[in-house]
Chains A and B, each alone.
Chain A
Amino acid sequence: DTGVSQNPRHKITKRGQNVTFRCDPISEHNRLYWYRQTLGQGPEFLTYFQNEAQLEKSRLLSDRFSAERPKGSFSTLEIQRTEQGDSAMYLCASSSTSGRRAYNEQFFGPGTRLTVL
């Protein structure tokens, strides 16, 4: 399967613990996005990278959240001192900026479901 992969698929943690999620984009996709989806809502943009550069962060991304894409390939999203309000599905998507299209499709991964007890 050459799609976007995310690990782990499920994470249960206690309030106050740190968690880290990983996203492996489609190879050669230079853009990588993180979204968060809570029950009954659509995905909400968190941040995105072009290669290794983090180009935009949403105001939803508090200081407890940090994302990296050190070599322009996989990305990690870390949440420090988790709170119950962090419980959500965390989605990763990737796309390519090559070609002349005004928009290149974002391909989504299966997500990591986080439950904070």
Chain B
Amino acid sequence: NAGVTQTPKFQVLKTGQSMTLQCAQDMNHNSMYWYRQDPGMGLRLIYYSASEGTTDKGEVPNGYNVSRLNKREFSLRLESAAPSQTSVYFCASTRDRGNYGYTFGSGTRLTVV
């Protein structure tokens, strides 16, 4: 019963490097989300996918791209990392947006130097 699995758990990037954060859920959930969590700023939505085949921008999408590869997988890509993207990234999913709580992954701690 894995729930939401995120990889990697930790990553250090140099400014300008690119990387993809992977997320997979095994609960047959329709909606998936990417959040970042920074001290004093709470959880902020980067991108979300209400259903397979759709993606939409959240509150802080600049510098990121996403791919909903299939119903299970939702990846987040940083094309050219910047120090301002140093954060903890969480992937989440839910069966029915607004009616059920989110199931979160354990997070990816990213440092950009």
A, B in one complex = no
